[in-house]
Amino acid sequence: MTDARLIVILKSCITLGLILILLGIYLHNFSDTIDAMGVTGIIISAVCVAIGMVLSLPTKMYLTFLLVKREADKAEKK
């Protein structure tokens, strides 16, 4: 797998993670259905936020590492 392909996959994971975090926040604060569900609704919104964080935070660190490594390789070639 090339670096460009890996970067696209990581960026899509970050985007999906952020969408899930926002969905969890929306469900927790603005959804009447989730409020009516009680504890189960809170668990559903918390799971959305947790999965979003799992997808977004580690991939941000790895993506930053890849981009720094790529810049170092370009600087080394010059």
Domain ranges of the chain: 17-77
CA Rg value for the chain: 18
Mean predicted confidence (pLDDT) in 60-67? 84
54 in helix, strand or coil? helix
pLDDT of the residue at 57: 84
For helices 39-77 and 3-30, give the axis angle rounded to 10 degrees: 150
Give the global pTM: 0.77
Q: Is the dihedral of CA 34, 36, 42, 43 positive or negative?
A: negative
Query: Tell me, what amino acid is at 44?
Result: I
pLDDT of the residue at 22: 96
75's tokens? 């600087």
Query: pLDDT by residue (tens digit) across 1-58?
Result: 787 898 888 889 889 999 999 999 999 999 889 889 999 999 999 999 999 999 888 8
